[in-house]
Amino acid sequence: MIQSKGEKIFYTCNYILLTIIGILTLYPFWDVIRVSFSSAADANNMAFTLWPREFSLDAYKKVLNNQFIWIGYKNTIVRIVVGMSIQMTLMVMVAYPLSKKYFPHKGFWTMLVVFTMFFNGGLIPNYLLIRSLHIDNTMWALVLPRAIDTFALIIMRNYFLTIPESLEEAAKIDGASDVKILTRIYLPLAKPIIFTVLLWGTVGYWNEWFECLIYIRDEQKFVLQSILRKIIIDASPNFAEIGGGNTSAADTSVEVVKAATIMVSTLPILVIYPFIQKHFVSGITMGSVKG
């Protein structure tokens, strides 16, 4: 396709602008990587460099040798597995009937679900509810409040609406029950939105720390982001505030330990995302067009 002079100028400016934005976006992340592999003296030098001038793994050794990092990993992974199992089960059970035209009072139930997306009790009522259920300082306090993501539920319901009704009618003629129709037809066809919601929920659980701050008192039950928060805010490379180590911090800069901890807590999501990305665009696009 032959481009006019104006189109060439337009695309050239676009490429230049996007390249600049990409560099501005990626450099802070790259700088964290650089600092995490630097020595204490190099990190404290505050010079502008793209590569560590004194390569060192001391910060990673200090981070990975601390038991609380692994406790945080374990608690976070358990939270994701249990939380996403409950969340996906409940959202599929709600989204499927709401996608049916013959569902009684469908509009009322849909509006009731949407209402919860804009209005909630707030922090204090939620805290009192968790206390009254006697699940504070347990993993359930970090899982049950997120049992249903209303926005993701609406997207999933809209995706189910895009599946042809003729498939359901043909299955019913063959004697299939609603459970078989859901598990054999809808869920296999809804893989893009399933993976999209899984990605949203996993990232949400992985990054969330505030609920742990509010509900959890036992350090052995802290999630990874709560431990990361203590390291970043308390500036404690030895994790002293969370039952930390006894080694001296003289050989490792606080900033280097912070950077290494950020990388350790971020890497799993960076590894998982490319495998789910191919489903992400189609899931969002098809799940957002139906009313």
* pLDDT band at residue 90 under the 50/70/90 scheme: very high
In this predicted structure, the answer to whether residue 182 has a pLDDT above a threshold of 50 is: yes
Kindly state the average pLDDT of the residues 51-78: 87
Domains of the chain listed by start with CATH number: 5-59 (no CATH), 60-287 (1.10.3720.10)
Contact 275, 195 (CB under 8 A): no
Residues of the chain with pLDDT > 90, as a percent, come to 23
- Indicate if the alpha-carbon torsion angle 13, 19, 20, 22 is positive or negative: positive
CA–CA dist 234, 243 (Å, integer): 13
In this predicted structure, the answer to whether residue 247 has a pLDDT above a threshold of 50 is: no
Contacts of 131 (CB under 8 A, 6+ apart): none
pTM: 0.79
In this predicted structure, the answer to whether residue 172 has a pLDDT above a threshold of 80 is: yes
In this predicted structure, the answer to whether residue 252 has a pLDDT above a threshold of 60 is: no
Q: pLDDT tens digits for 97-140?
A: 998 888 898 889 989 988 988 888 888 999 999 999 999 999 99
Kindly state the average pLDDT of the residues 149-171: 89
Residue with token string 């049992």? 147
pLDDT given for residue 250 in this prediction: 44
Contact 201, 83 (CB under 8 A): yes
Contact 79, 204 (CB under 8 A): no
Q: pLDDT tens digits for 206-228?
A: 988 899 989 998 888 999 888 88
Residue with token string 């976006």? 25
Helix residue spans in the chain (DSSP H): 5-36, 40-44, 58-64, 67-98, 106-118, 123-132, 140-143, 150-161, 165-173, 178-181, 187-189, 191-207, 210-215, 224-234, 254-287
Average pLDDT, the chain: 83
pLDDT given for residue 244 in this prediction: 42
Distances from the Cα of 111 to the Cαs of 98, 106, 155, 193, in angstroms?
11, 9, 14, 21
